[in-house]
Amino acid sequence: MSNAATGAIDHHFDPTTSTGIPNKKLLMWMFLASDCMFFGCLISTHLIYRLHPPPGTPSAKSVFSIELTSFSTFILLMSSLMMALAVNSIQKGNLKTLRSSLLTTILFGSIFLGCQVFEFNNFVFEKHLTITNSILGTTFFTLTGTHGCHVAVGVFWLTLMYVRSFQPKDTTADRSWFVRNLVHIVACLGTILLGMMLVLKLVRSLQGAPSFGAGVGLWLKDYWIALIGIAVTGTLMRILARPSGAVAFDEHNAIDVEMMGLYWHFVDIVWIVIFTAVYLLEYI
């Protein structure tokens, strides 16, 4: 187990702490323990109100769409896999795999969020379940919305970490890196948001249009500015991701990625519980 001889880093042991667990890892586990209480109380609230729904509450089964939720559950599980691979690759110092895994995780996280936006829209405008008009709406939107906020924070964190992995080692020679860094973050967030919007709008116009071609045509007509926008942000992302000298991000940063990974997986396991407790139990 001793890696001193081989020069590799033991990612499960930190000799400078009393227990050998890196401080940041312990901090994250403690925070997650706290978050267990947080989501425990929130899920309890939803389930308590499902125990005795007041008369007039719409049936949850008639509102929910199991297909969509199953799809987003699957996507979130896969994003967890990508996150685990990202941690694994940076622990071996493999920066290239790290970046592609992080981007895939961001993509899957954004798909999950997009599904949630679609679902909420569908519930509010078509199923007429709003946050104020029934106790089911109140608890459902608050619970899944809070989880969605956790996912959004995770996507934001992943984006920052992805951009962080381009920080040059020698910042004296490269004074403009901070500005580049900011532009990179804005480009990533722009791509994510525009992409989510475009896909959702495409789905909307396909649903409303008589034929596939007509739907796409309408969509192109309405959202060509956004399409140009995403082309610009996407190109910026590609340009800024070009390799340019040594970066200050390597195996030593594995703990930061791992800490973020723990958060991301936790959001995933909360969804595992929500999927069963909030959705599936309504169907039996």
Partner 1 sequence: MADALVKTDFLGKDEPAATKPFVIWRPQAKTGLISWLTTVDHKRIGFLYGISALFFFLVGGVEALLIRLQLMVPNNHLLTAPQYNEMFTMHATTMIFLAIMPLSAAFFNFVMPLQIGARDVAFPRLNAFSFWTFLAGAIIVNLGWFLHSGAPDAGWFAYTPLSTRTYTPGHAMDMWVMGIQLLGVASIAASLNFIITIINLRAPGMTMMRLPVFTWMTLVTAFLIVLAFPAITIALVELMMDRIFGTNFFEVSNGGMPILWTHLFWVFGHPEVYILILPAMGVISEILPTFSRKPLFGYPIVVFSGAAIGFLGFGVWSHHMFTTGMGTMATAAFAVTTMCIAVPTGVKIFNWIGTLWGGHLQMRTPMMFALGFIWLFMIGGFSGVMHAAAPADAEQHNSYFVVAHFHYVLIGGSLFALLAGIHYWFPLLCGRKINEFWGKLSFWVIFVGFNVTFFPMHFLGLNGMPRRTFTYDGNMGWNQGNFIATMGALVLGVGVFIYFAVMVYTWFKGERVGRDPWDARTLEWCLPNPPPEYNFRVIPTVHARDDWWHTKHEAAPAKAEAHGGPGHDHGIHMPFQSIYPFIAACGILIGAIGIAVVDYNTDPHVIVGKKLAVTLVGAVIMITAIYLWALEGNEGYHLHPEEEGHGHAPAAGKHH
Partner 2 sequence: MSEPTPVLTSPGHAAEESKFQLFVQVAMILAVITGIEIITVYLPFSYAVLFTVLVAFSAVKFLLVIFIFMHLRWDRPLCTIIFFIGLVLGGGTMWALLTLFGADASKPLTAMAEVARTVLAG
Write the interaction track for partner 1 spanning residues 71-90; mark x where CB under 8 A is met and - where it is not: --------------------
Query: Residue 55 interacts with partner 2 (CB under 8 A)?
Result: yes
Query: Residue 128 interacts with partner 2 (CB under 8 A)?
Result: no
Instruction: Choose which of 74, 178, 186, 214 interacts with partner 1 (CB under 8 A).
Output: 178
Instruction: Choose which of 1, 4, 5, 37 interacts with partner 1 (CB under 8 A).
Output: 37
265 binds, among partner 1, partner 2, none (CB under 5 to 8 A by kind): partner 2
Query: Residue 182 interacts with partner 2 (CB under 8 A)?
Result: no
190-218 burial string, b = 16+ CB within 10 Å, else e? bbbbbbbbbeeebebbeeeeeeeeebeeb
Q: What is the DSSP string of 23-61?
A: HHHHHHHHHHHHHHHHHHHHHHHHHHHHHSPPTTPPPHH
- Write 176-181 long-range contacts (CB < 8 A, 24+): 180/240
Instruction: Choose which of 68, 81, 189, 218 interacts with partner 2 (CB under 8 A).
Output: 81
What is the rounded CA–CA span in Å between residue 249 and residue 197? 32
Helix axes 177-208, 135-164, angle to 10 degrees: 140
Query: CA angle 94-100-101, nearest 5°?
Result: 85
Instruction: Choose which of 4, 5, 16, 19 interacts with partner 2 (CB under 8 A).
Output: 19
Instruction: Choose which of 162, 258, 260, 278 interacts with partner 2 (CB under 8 A).
Output: 258
In the region spanning residues 158 to 177, those forming contacts with partner 1, defined by CB under 8 A, are 160-161, 164, 169, 171-172, 175, 177
Instruction: Choose which of 64, 120, 263, 264 interacts with partner 1 (CB under 8 A).
Output: 263
